[in-house]
C-alpha cells in the first residue's frame, strides 16, 4: 500500500512508470544519494587561494537549475531530485564539507512535507537542517538557508493537500527567524516567486523565467554570507 501511494505521488510529479521504478531502485540501493556526485567529488581539486567556492545543496529546485548559471563560477550544484532533509544530512560530509566551500546554500523541506521519505513533521525537518548548519559552522562554512517555493493547484491537489501554503509559509518563517537569531543568511525564494509572473509551467518547479528571478537573489545571498564574520 505504501509503495502504491508513493508511486501515485511520483506519477503526479510528472514521471513515467519506468522513471518511477528507477527512482525507487535508487532509493533502496543508495538511500542517501551518495553515488550521484561521488565520482565528481573525487576528481575535484581543492579551492584555489582566495576562491570562494559555493555548494548548492538541495532537491529538484537545484538539480534542475541550468548549467549556465554555474559555468565559469566556483559554484558546485549538488542538488538531487526528490531528496529530503535526512538524505541531504547523510551526504552532507561528502557533498559539502569535503569540498571545502566558503558558503553552502541549503534548500530543503518541500519533499519532506510531501512524504517522499516517509512521514515528516516541521520539527523533524528543522532538526535535520540545524544539524547541517552546525556541521557547516564547525568547519568554517558560511550558511545560507533558502526557503521552499510557492505551490498552487495548477500542478494538482495531491500536492496542495500534502503541503498547504500555510505549512510552507510557517516553515519558511521558522527558517528566517533561525537565521536572524544565529547570524546566518536567509534566501527568500518564496516571497520573490509568489509575486512573479510565469515563473513555473506546472505550479511547482521553476522554469527559465523562474530561475532568472532566483539568480540575482542567490548571488546577493552569497555576497551577504561572505561578508558575515
3-state secondary structure 137-191: HHCCCEEEEECCCCCCHHHCHHHHHHCCHHHHHHHHHHHHHHHHHHCCEEECHHH
7 with 89, same domain: the answer is no
Sequential DSSP letters for 64-126: TS-GGGTTTTTEEEEE-TT--HHHHHHTHHHHTGGG--SEEEEE-SHHHHHTBTB---HHHHH
Average pLDDT of the chain, as a whole number: 87
- Residues 11, 122 within the same domain: no
Does 146 lie in the same domain as 43? yes
Q: Are residues 51 and 111 in the same domain?
A: yes
63 with 14, same domain: the answer is: no
> Are 83 and 195 found together in one domain?
yes
Angle at 59 between CA 40 and CA 24, to 5 degrees: 85
Q: What does the pLDDT look like over 44-77, one tens digit per residue?
A: 999 999 999 999 999 999 999 998 899 899 999 9
Residues 97-122 have a mean pLDDT of 90
173 and 205 in a single domain? The answer is yes
DSSP-derived letter for residue 52 is: -
Total number of domains constituting the chain: 2
pLDDT at site 4: 45
10 Å CB burial of residue 101 (0-12, 13-18, 19+) is buried
pLDDT tens-digit series, residues 166-222: 788 999 999 999 999 999 999 999 999 998 888 988 878 899 999 999 999 999 999
Q: How confident is the model at residue 159 (pLDDT cuts 50, 70, 90)?
A: low
Name the DSSP letter for residue 58.
E
Out of 21-25, 84-88, 166-170, which region has the weakest mean confidence (pLDDT)? 21-25
182 vs 13 pLDDT, higher one: 182
Q: Are residues 120 and 17 in the same domain?
A: no
Per-residue pLDDT at 6 exceeds 80: no
What pTM was estimated for this model as a whole?
A: 0.87
Q: Domain range for residue 69? A: 37-227
* pLDDT tier for residue 151 given thresholds of 50, 70 and 90: confident
CATH number (domain holding residue 220): 3.40.50.1110
11 shares its domain with 115: no
Asked whether the beta carbons of 179 and 223 are under 8 A apart, the reply is no
Q: Which residue has the cell 511520483?
A: 10
Instruction: Tell me, yes or no, whether 86 and 15 share the same domain.
Output: no
Residue 126 has pLDDT above 50, yes or no: yes
- Residues 74, 55, single domain; the answer is yes
Handedness of CA 76, 187, 117, 61 (dihedral sign): negative
- Sign of the dihedral defined by the CA atoms of residues 203, 192, 206, 127, in that order: negative
Mean pLDDT of 89-103: 98
Amino acid at each position: 500500500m505504501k509503495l502504491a501511494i508513493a508511486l501515485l505521488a511520483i506519477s503526479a510529479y510528472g514521471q513515467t512508470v519506468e522513471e518511477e521504478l528507477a527512482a525507487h531502485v535508487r532509493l533502496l540501493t543508495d538511500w542517501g544519494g551518495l553515488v550521484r556526485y561521488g565520482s565528481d567529488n573525487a576528481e575535484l581539486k581543492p579551492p584555489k587561494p582566495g576562491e570562494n567556492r559555493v555548494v548548492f545543496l538541495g532537491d529538484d529546485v537545484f538539480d534542475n537549475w541550468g548549467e549556465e548559471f554555474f559555468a565559469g563560477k566556483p559554484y558546485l550544484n549538488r542538488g538531487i531530485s526528490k531528496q529530503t532533509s535526512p538524505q541531504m544530512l547523510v551526504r552532507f560530509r561528502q557533498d559539502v564539507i569535503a569540498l571545502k566551500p566558503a558558503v553552502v546554500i541549503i534548500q530543503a523541506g518541500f519533499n519532506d512535507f510531501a512524504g517522499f521519505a516517509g512521514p515528516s513533521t516541521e520539527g523533524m525537518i528543522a532538526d535535520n537542517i540545524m544539524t547541517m548548519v552546525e556541521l557547516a559552522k564547525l568547519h568554517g562554512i558560511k550558511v545560507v538557508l533558502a526557503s521552499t517555493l510557492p505551490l498552487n493547484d495548477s500542478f494538482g491537489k495531491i500536492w496542495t493537500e500534502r503541503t498547504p501554503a500555510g505549512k510552507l509559509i510557517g516553515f519558511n518563517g521558522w527558517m528566517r527567524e533561525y537565521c536572524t537569531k544565529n547570524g546566518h543568511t536567509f534566501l527568500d525564494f518564496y516571497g520573490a516567486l509568489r509575486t512573479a509572473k510565469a515563473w513555473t509551467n506546472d505550479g511547482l518547479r521553476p522554469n527559465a523565467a523562474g530561475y532568472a528571478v532566483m539568480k540575482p537573489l542567490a548571488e546577493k545571498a552569497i555576497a551577504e554570507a561572505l561578508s558575515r564574520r
